[in-house]
Amino acid sequence: MTRLAVDPITCTGHGLCAELLPEAIALDEWGYPLLAHGELPKQLLRRARSVAATCPTRALRLVQTPARSAATEA
Amino acid sequence: MTSIAFWYLIRATGLVSLVLMTATIVLGVVVQRQRRLPGLPRFGAVALHRSVSLVSALLLAVHVVTAVVDSYVGIPAVAAVVPFTSGWRPAGIGLGALAVELMVVIVASSLLRGRIPHRLWRAVHWTSYLLWPLAFVHGLMTGTDLGSGWPLVLALGCAAVVGGTTAVAWIGRTSPPAERAPAALASSSAALHHGTHVAVFRNR
Amino acid sequence: MTSVLSTSGLFAAPGPGLPEHRATFGPLPVADPVQLTAAAELTGRGGAGFPTAVKLRSVAAAAAAGRRAPVLIGNGAEGEPASAKDAVLLSRAPHLVLDGLAVLARALGAADVVLAAPARLLPGLAARLAERSDGAAVRLHPTGDGFLAGEESALVAAVEGADPLPRSKLVPIRERGVGGRPTLVQNVETLARLALLARGDREAAGRTLVTRRSQVNHAGRTDVVDMPLGTPLGEVLRVDGAVRAVLVGGYHGTWLPAAVAGELPLDRAGLEPVGATLGAGVLAALPTDRCGLRETARVVGYLAASSAGQCGPCLNGLPRIAAALQVLARREAPPPQLLTDLWRWCGLLPDRGACRHPDGTVRLVASALGVFGPELRLHASGRCSATTARPFLPVAGAGR
């Protein structure tokens, strides 16, 4: 499944992503993105790709994960 | 087209391109400082920065073509890209050629953004601070206008704006990660102690 | 001073040298670490408790897929100030750790084998390596005393010669680590236990090292024990009327009230129901004469200053949380919104950084606010139930 991910080191909180894709991205009180969990709805895929290209620091990505939730390591 | 018309076109496109380059730099720093332009959403500054830079590049192209086509000053086409091969004012035209090449590289890197490593894109983008002085000095050395009158005032005004904007960008440049957390801790303690608002800390 | 209590298991040898090691444990057999760790269900001893066999398999798979020999790093950095088990293990039983590295290096076909440990331990380790025929294959790397020095991706960065800062997990180090190669990082205790497993010691995976911190006769005492998993906490750490609360797991761990702590079995099944894990194996018994809020505020101040400062939520959240705890640690009524703000900031941090530093810190803070709730009310009315301000938990690498 395709989902949104942000590289938290590269992200400096410009906030363009939340403006352009409010259905899936909100901002916390410091301006950093809060991404919706889970699979990105199909109808948002194309817009999400273009929003990821607009990120000034290229921190926002679309990632592919297997259908089951990935095992988390610390 | 008459020679006089060419002459006006060369000067006009050159001057306006310089003004738009100035605006591009200002908009670029607005993005870097993560500020909003009043009345516009956040992506407004990014979009304007891109559009203005492309228009300035377009005007630059017209500027170069008309200068080459205009037979009055005898600048061969090759002089547009190979520095110091022009018969007329080789040094000044040479700087212009360098500026053209740099502009092409910067615009190309941004059009290819996402296909080239981000670090490479950033490095090329930084050279835009070199592009402006090249264009400016080229204008002083070759431009028949910039010696006096309002074009000179305009050009000097642009220079002041670029200088000030660069200073702002320099002050807001990235900080070493190791310094950020202790500074944020000190700032938070002080602010909470005085009951004042804690500023947002930037991880750059 | 740190002393070692048990003389079985990892510390069975009478001395750290090779002759004593050989005499006690015998030679190191050829072994398949994946099969061994899978059968014994060995989990990592670095704090995350991840199944070792799964980790080994994924690095081996990444190496095979990319056709690049992996890098192996033994992690003895021990950034946790309250923990001493890795340093003690490296001083007392280094050859078990080196045996574990040898087993893995051979099985994985490692291109580079590194043992990372605090600089002060390196001369001793170099001497131990010199005793071995395979010693030249291991590269020693000195680590700093920052809290994040042992974080896997920060360690990879350090080994590469860069600043010891965590890296984004979007490409995990098991796929691209040191020099772009798949990298396996294992805590030194995990390596030592693997060395015992290779020799047929079936108990090795069922035991764990724990650093105990307590106060005895007004003096702080720290020691390291090798105990069976599942032992009730009260049998490992004395929890009596002089103990206010127990910190389980270290500075990314959980406070537990003394009344509850004593009965708890020290394993995943026993600790999970109360929201705790063994983590880096630290058990600290906070004396009743100390204030839990003041201790936590001091530790969280240290944790906030230790943030790598690379990620926005952590850089913004931890300093605010630390500052708020400073206020709550004082004997005065806090500003009305402070607790609400504090809980909100805590809620904004999990899963939003490049590493688990914000997550772990929030866990500690949340447990403190719960366990020391009565203390919060006391402070708000200008009182405190502690009788001394003397620090109990260590910070910043001093006074281990």
Where does the pLDDT of residue B141 fall: very low under 50, low under 70, confident under 90, or very high at 90 and above? confident
Q: Residue A60 in contact with residue A33, Cβ under 8 Å? A: yes
Smallest Cβ–Cβ distance between B43 and the set A9, A12, A20 belongs to A20
Mutation choice for B interface testing from C300, C302, C315 by most B CBs within 10 A: C315
CB contact under 8 A, C311 and A63: no
Helix axes C292-305, C373-380, angle to 10 degrees: 100
Please state the rounded mean pLDDT for residues C317-326: 98
Cβ pair A14, A51 in contact under 8 A: no
The shortest C-alpha distance from B46 to chain A (Å) reads: 8
Per residue in C295-313, pLDDT tens?
A: 999 999 999 999 999 999 9
Paired with A2 in beta bridges are A64
Q: What is the topology classification, in CATH, of domain A2-64?
A: Alpha-Beta Plaits (3.30.70)
Residues of C engaging B, defined by a Cβ cutoff of 8 Å = 163, 165, 301, 304-312, 315-316, 318-320, 322-324, 326-327, 335
The alpha-helical segments, DSSP class H, found in B86-146 are 90-111, 118-126, 128-142
Q: What percent of chain C has pLDDT over 90?
A: 95
Same domain, B167 and B197: no
d(CA C155, CA C73): 9
B44, B71: one domain: yes
**pLDDT tens per residue, range C96-137:** 999 999 999 999 999 999 999 999 999 999 999 999 999 999
**Mutant choice from B175, B179, B189 vs C, greatest count of C C-beta within 10 A:** B189
- Give the C-alpha separation, B55 to B59, whole Å: 6
Band of pLDDT at residue B117, cut at 50, 70 and 90: confident
Q: CB under 8 Å, gap of 24 or more: what pairs does B114-120 form?
A: B114/A53, B114/A58, B118/A57, B118/A58
Q: Which domain holds residue B151?
A: 3-173
Q: Does the predicted model carry a pTM greater than 0.95?
A: no
Looking at the structure, do residues B166 and B181 belong to the same domain, yes or no? no
Q: What is the mean predicted confidence (pLDDT) over B110-127?
A: 90
Q: State the helix-helix crossing angle for B90-111 and B42-69, rounded to 10 degrees.
A: 140
Which tokens sit at C328?
Answer: 């709550």
For chain A, list residues with pLDDT below 50: 69-74
Three-state SS for C248? strand
| B194 and B167 in a common domain | no
Q: What is the pLDDT of residue C297?
A: 98
B143 and B76, same domain (yes or no): yes
Q: What is the reported pLDDT for C8?
A: 67
Residues B56 and B87 in one domain: yes
Mean pLDDT to the nearest integer, B89-118: 91
Largest CA distance in chain B: 73
Spell out which chain A residues touch chain B, with contact meaning CB-CB distance below 8 angstroms: 9, 11-16, 19-20, 30-31, 53-54, 56-58
Q: Which of C81, C122, C106 is nearest to C298 (CA)?
A: C81
The whole-angstrom distance between A16's CA and the closest CA on chain B is 5
The total of structural domains in chain B comes to 2
Q: Which of C112, C99, C139 has the alpha carbon at shortest distance from C18?
A: C99
- pLDDT, average across residues C272-278: 96
Q: What is the pLDDT of residue C55?
A: 97
Higher pLDDT pick, C329 / B119:
C329
- Domains of chain C with bracketed CATH: 2-204 (3.40.50.11540), 209-287 (3.10.20.600), 292-380 (1.20.1440.230)
Place of tokens 């719960």: C370
Nearest CB to A11 within list C50, C55, C312: C312
Residue C56 corresponds to which tokens in the numbers above? 């080994």
CB pairs under 8 A between B and C: 67
Quick one: average pLDDT of B136-143? 88
Residue B167 makes CB contacts below 8 A (sequence gap 6+) with: none
Same structural domain, B164 and B65:
yes
Please report, for residues C6, C8, C14, C20, C273, the alpha-carbon distance to residue C23 in angstroms, rounded to integers and kept in the order given. Answer: 19, 14, 10, 5, 43
C204 to C193, C230, C249: CA distances (angstroms): 6, 14, 20
Nearest to C77 by CA among C36, C112, C47: C47
Mean pLDDT value of segment C60-86: 96
CATH number of the domain enclosing B126: 1.20.120
A contact test, residue of B51, B203, B204 with most A CBs within 10 A: B203
In the predicted structure, residue C4 carries a pLDDT above the cut 60: no
Q: List CB contacts (< 8 A) between B41 and chain A.
A: 19
The mean pLDDT value for C162-189 works out to 96
**Strands A25-27 and A33-35, how do they pair?**
antiparallel
**Contact assignment for B200 to C323 by CB distance below 8 Å:** no
Residue B74 pLDDT: 72
Which of B189, B143, B113, A35 shows the shortest CA–CA distance to C352?
A: A35
Q: Which residues of B touch C (CB under 8 A)?
A: 177-182, 184-185, 187-189, 191-193, 195, 198, 200-203
* Interatomic CA distance for residues C181 and C173, integer angstroms: 8
Give yes or no: residues B127 and B27 share one domain. yes
Tokens of C139: 């590269």
CB contact under 8 A, C315 and B203: yes
pLDDT in tens, C351-380: 999 999 999 999 999 999 999 999 999 999
